[in-house]
Amino acid sequence: MGRSTRKNAIKDRMRVILNGKRWFIWFVRSREIPSDRYGDCGYSGSTPIIRVRRALQGRMALNVLIHEVLHASRPELAEEAVTETANDIEKVLWRRGYRLIPKESSEKSPD
């Protein structure tokens, strides 16, 4: 997958540590994820990967990222608990003013 050329795009790939395990987060084209979902969390072979549609914007992008990170961090949680928790976190962060920073002005953050 190549880098996005959209001006306000976030980095297409990143690595994070979640629950003591290194995960890859990929922001992918919509056609790379089944049409019935906005993101997913799983494994490609033995590699843990979170995929999020990169076309998502605003609150939806924030919510889906939180939702998939929760799946990776807390795999024992039921889907309903993940959804409710992601919704609550997204509402608080959005209300506090958290927004996507354009790629050009963002700083590299540590894992």
Domain range for 61: 13-103
- Interval 4-63: pLDDT, tens: 444 444 568 999 999 999 999 999 999 999 999 999 999 999 999 999 999 999 999 999
**Is residue 109 in some structural domain?**
no
**Is residue 30 in some structural domain?**
yes
pTM: 0.82
**Is residue 108 in some structural domain?**
no
**Is residue 54 in some structural domain?**
yes
**Is residue 56 in some structural domain?**
yes
Q: Which helix (H) or strand (E) holds 62?
A: helix 58-73
**Is residue 32 in some structural domain?**
yes
Number of domains in the chain: 1
- % helix / strand / coil in the chain, to the nearest 5? 35, 25, 40
Residue 48 near residue 72 (C-beta atoms within 8 A): yes
**Is residue 43 in some structural domain?**
yes
- Interval 68-111: pLDDT, tens: 999 999 999 999 999 999 999 999 999 999 988 766 545 555 54
**Is residue 93 in some structural domain?**
yes
